[in-house]
Amino acid sequence: MNYAVAAGHDATADTAVEILKAGGNAFDAAIAAYLTAFIAEPCMASGGGGAFANVYTASGERLLFDFFCQTPKSKQLSAAIDFQPIEVDFGDTTEVFYTGKGSTGVPGSIAGIFAIHEKLGTMPMSELVKIPIQYAKEGIAINDFQALDLSLLEEIFRMHPRSLELFFREDGTRKQIGDVVQMPGLADFLDYMAREGQAAFYQGEIARKIVEDYQHGGGYLTMTDFKDYKVEIREPLAFPFRQKTVLTNPLPSIGGTLLCLMLLELGENAPQQLPQGEEHILQWYRAQREVSKLSRLPEDLRLSLQQVLQRNKKHGSTSHFNIVDQWGNAISLTMTIGEGCGYFVEGTDIHMNNMLGEAALLPHGFHTWDEDVRLSSMMSPTIVLNAGGKAEVVLGSGGASRIATAIAQVIHLLLDYQLPVHEAVNLSRVHLGHDVFNIEKGFNHQLSPDLFEGTLKAWNNQSLFFGGVHTILRHADGRLMASGDDRRDGVVRVG
């Protein structure tokens, strides 16, 4: 076999490999791996969240599955809104998110799984759920990164009685590295889902229970929201860069467009200076500064993108995994629950999202969302095609507003410097946000703050704040290499 997997957890990656070895394709493997991530990466993946999957098939088909969260159809509330601020401390900076039932959008995870399966899957769903069900019953030990994530989000995970049972010890302290998390309710749900299809979540008893709790508890969700949810299948945004073609998440999600604009701002020629020096920092500062001046509204970004592509046309708290199979199928899937809203669906161990509490998704401020629209997102699962039309680089990242800049920098290092994939993924990064230019530890510079508009912030270490860009690279001779991002304890499997 000739396959590669880059993921955020050993269990997620191992599940994908088992499906590939059983004869499944990359898309079968992705479905099973995503379901395993509900148990293995519970701070980032859930049936109550959403995702994007960028797909490139061996026959050359390009598809972007959007199963991100939808805004509710109505802003009318039956009870006072449940919307609570939570501050997350990344060490060198903090960020505020909002939780509670009033922060939840209509989840798309389960619908997305079935959409991928219907169009591209080859194995029955009853087979694809077996490994995730086993993990949910037997449990998975908390590793270093999941322990860190739980510590960051502890306040949210203390909000619901079921969460206290799953993620905390009998003495009330948070589970630590090596402690096992079991989700028997999720095992039962996955078995039911495999038999009943997506209606198991979007219709019937489970949906009615969620709606009842939300209508009486300060949330917006209704049965109509669940019944009417649909996966959007789009053409990926395609743009030229360094004689390659980059495929990424299109509008109305903004992350892929920002990724495109940043890469094109680097200019048409590969830079000559070595990475991680002063010129490298300034180059990325200038590119990010130009993009930061643009409106974040999708329609405004559409115009900016058209202008930049016309100019360049002659030159041609999220997790992620990538899978390339032996036939050349590739999938790049980025998943999220935001930080979670703190509500767990009774009997299923499913944690609902807080996407209406994410400031980065609401450019006009909280509670300004329009009813019944697909939320925009920074998530940007990306595939780079070589001149022969093969998937050469498959990558993506978590990291909220830092996603596009993290992915762009890895692509830049791979294509402009031809660095080994592990080095390109784990070199230090920069990020400009809210007039603060963040420089991760590892750069060699003595730059004056006077060169930058706003604040220059030097970090004391590498941090998950700068994303987690798990990546697969295909060499010219066909060999597959992969790297997980050390910032998020990424893992790889190559066979």
- The DSSP string of 231-278 is -EEEPPEEEEETTEEEEEPPTTSSHHHHHHHHHHHT-SS---SPTTSH
Please report the DSSP string for 445-486 in residue order: ----GGGSSSEEEE-SS--GGG---EEEEE-TTS-EEEE--G
Instruction: Read off the tokens for 471.
Output: 């990546």
Closest to 64 (Cα-Cα) out of 277, 232, 185: 232
How many angstroms separate the first and last alpha carbons of the chain? Answer: 6
- Of 490, 479, 482, 431, nearest to 455 by C-alpha is 431
**In angstroms, what is the C-alpha Rg of the chain?**
21
H-helix or E-strand spanning residue 24: none
Q: Which of 36, 245, 318, 348 is catalytic?
A: 318
DSSP string over 62-95: EEEEEE--B--S----SS----EEEEEE-SS-EE
Taking the C-alpha atoms of residue 30 and residue 322, their distance in angstroms, rounded to an integer, is: 8
Pairing of strands 94-99, 491-494: unpaired
Q: In what order do the strands lie in the sheet with 455-458?
A: 430-433, 436-439, 455-458
Amino acid type, 427: L
Dihedrals phi, psi of 67, to nearest 5 degrees: -125, 45
- Token digits for 161? 């009685």
Closest by alpha carbon to 39, among 137, 122, 128, 110? 137
Alpha carbons 329 and 122: distance in angstroms, whole number: 13
**Which one-letter DSSP state was computed for residue 376?**
P
Q: Is 318 a catalytic residue?
A: yes
The alpha carbon of 95 is separated from its chain's Cα centroid by a whole number of angstroms, namely 18
Which residues are catalytic, by number?
A: 318
